[in-house]
């Protein structure tokens, strides 16, 4: 099936999650953030990924209301931060997020990291929010196989999404296979490895062949790998460039060449090293 900016991934509860969206981590200047988000939405982006930690949920709500799109046409994700985890704490954190956003529901709510001794209760609270129809879909972020296994052993509703650090230097194939086997969609954060891949010679050669930038090649690799992807930028031209990945495709050989760049190298912390 041909990929477009409107392509979605069907989650295991039937909800259609956009395959492509805008990540808004570190968008802390209020005016610039709102402007960037409105530019993205009006340019065809149909998903915004925020979190309590990012301190820009208010701006996300403002941008959706200021854009040309209806609220129901933009898929909004947020996450409960580590210091707010636990059952009652998560319910309160969700309420605070919703109030900041100015919405009466979220499309996707995630546990941000698997805080030891807390993430199971956090997920239990997120399940309750789903049962109460305050969230259309639920999941986790930065969870390893053993975290997912623990959750699924007692969950009434297993996670629909696992959002993880993923890029050509960290392809996460075993974890992706585990998620696929359990019908859990995978979203890639830090999809460009915080810019460290932009000078990679294999990627530069592939980009040259297609008349595209390295960033566009990497985003296309994510999409063709059946991943959802949320590149971030506040620059209008780059927001447009990141979405201009639907007029070319990578060959099976090129996909394999990019897969082979894996070094299991992270730009962020390892999920097993997280603390509250």
Query: Could you list the active site residues?
Result: 54
In contact, 74 and 43? CB cutoff 8 Å: no
d(CA 225, CA 207): 17
What are phi and psi for residue 187, nearest 5 degrees?
Answer: -110, 135
* 165: CB partners within 8 A, 6+ apart: 142, 172, 188, 189, 190, 266, 267, 268
What are phi and psi for residue 82, nearest 5 degrees?
Answer: -55, -40
Rg (CA), the chain: 18
Name the one residue in this structure whose structure tokens are 């891949």.
197
Query: What residues does 140 pair with on adjacent strands?
Result: 111, 162
Name the one residue in this structure whose structure tokens are 């709500």.
61
In contact, 8 and 16? CB cutoff 8 Å: yes
DSSP reduced 3-state for 111: strand
In contact, 126 and 156? CB cutoff 8 Å: no
Helix (H) or strand (E) holding 220: helix 214-224
Query: What residues does 20 pair with on adjacent strands?
Result: 229
């Amino acid at each position: 099936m041909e990929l477009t900016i409107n392509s979605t991934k069907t989650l295991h509860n039937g909800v259609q999650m956009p395959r492509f969206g805008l990540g808004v981590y570190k968008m802390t200047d209020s005016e610039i953030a709102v402007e960037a988000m409105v530019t993205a939405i009006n340019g065809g982006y149909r998903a915004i990924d925020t979190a309590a930690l990012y301190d820009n949920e208010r701006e996300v709500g403002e941008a959706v209301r200021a854009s040309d799109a209806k609220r129901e046409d933009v898929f909004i994700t947020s996450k409960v931060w580590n210091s707010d985890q636990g059952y009652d704490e998560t319910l309160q954190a969700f309420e605070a997020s919703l109030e900041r956003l100015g919405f009466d529901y979220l499309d996707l709510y995630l546990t941000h990291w698997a805080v030891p001794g807390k993430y199971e209760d956090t997920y239990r609270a997120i399940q309750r929010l789903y049962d109460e129809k305050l969230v259309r879909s639920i999941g986790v972020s930065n969870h390893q196989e053993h975290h997912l296994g623990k959750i699924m052993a007692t969950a009434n509703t297993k996670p629909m999404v696992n959002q993880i650090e993923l890029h050509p230097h960290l392809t996460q194939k075993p974890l992706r296979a585990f998620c696929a086997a359990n019908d859990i969609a995978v979203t890639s954060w830090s999809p460009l490895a915080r810019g460290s891949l932009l000078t990679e010679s294999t990627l530069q050669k592939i980009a040259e062949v297609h008349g595209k930038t390295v960033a566009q090649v990497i985003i296309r690799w994510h999409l063709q790998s059946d991943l959802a992807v949320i590149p971030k930028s506040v620059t209008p031209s780059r927001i447009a460039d990141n979405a201009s990945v639907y007029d070319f495709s990578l060959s099976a050989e090129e996909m394999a060449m990019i897969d082979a760049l894996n070094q299991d190298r992270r730009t962020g912390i390892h999920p097993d090293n997280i603390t509250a």
